Amino acid sequence: MCRRALTASLLLLAASACADEAPVELWVDGFTPDDVRFEVDNLGPQTGEQLASLRKRPDVDGALLLPPGACGGPCRAALVSVFVTNRKPDAEPPPVIRLDAPAGKPRRLPIAFRDQQIDRGRIGRIRWLVELWPEERRLSATLSASVRLDVTSTPPAAPSPAPSPAPSPSPAPWPAPARR
């Protein structure tokens, strides 16, 4: 089945009404924008203990934390949630979400769904805790269709026998002993 990739840019605002709200720029590739809902709950500055507590919540699937001391105090954090509705007739692989880091900062790891697929008619949800860099005022996210490869494992071929060495030229025969 041919699938046409759709790239769209959406600008969504965080639900928080405080001055630290982080708009999210979302690029959707391989999904219809109507099938994707992206939510950011701005949590404001969070200490290490608060982040550890948030990571333990049953509705949080993972965390993208900054290196220790990156902010010189508590860093701002957000709960990033992505909802994907599968309106297609078949199950589909879940998407992969990549949040860009500001220029000059280390790349963030991708956010991936735990399940292998989103069944027909179902809504897949993933929620990650994300710590924001001090200069980060917006999140840029790319949501891409992931690819599930069904690979049949085959045993490796038996090693071929080592080639036998080429016969070396035999030395000249010794002269036959004289007969007496």
pLDDT digit string, tens, across residues 111-130: 877 777 788 888 888 899 99
Confidence of residue 159 (pLDDT cuts 50, 70, 90): low
Residue 139, pLDDT score: 82
Identify which has the larger pLDDT, 174 or 141. Answer: 141
Mean pLDDT of 68-79: 87
- pLDDT reported for residue 40: 87
pLDDT for res 114: 74
Whether the Cβ atoms of residue 58 and residue 70 lie closer than 8 Å to each other: no
Average pLDDT, the chain: 73
Model pTM? 0.64
Which residue has better confidence, 10 or 113? Answer: 113
Q: What is the pLDDT of residues 83-94, one digit of tens each?
A: 888 888 888 877
Lowest mean pLDDT segment, chosen from 39-48, 70-79, 90-99? 90-99
Counting beta carbons within 10 angstroms of the beta carbon of residue 174, is it exposed (0 to 12), middle (13 to 18) or buried (19 or more)?
exposed
- Write down the H helix ranges in the chain: 48-55
pLDDT confidence bin for 166, thresholds 50/70/90? low
pLDDT of 1 > 50? The answer is no
User: What are residue 82's DSSP bridge partners?
Assistant: 38, 126
pLDDT above 60 (res 144): yes
pLDDT score of 11 more than 50: no
Mean pLDDT of 94-106: 87
Q: Which two tokens stand for residue 93?
A: 């692989």
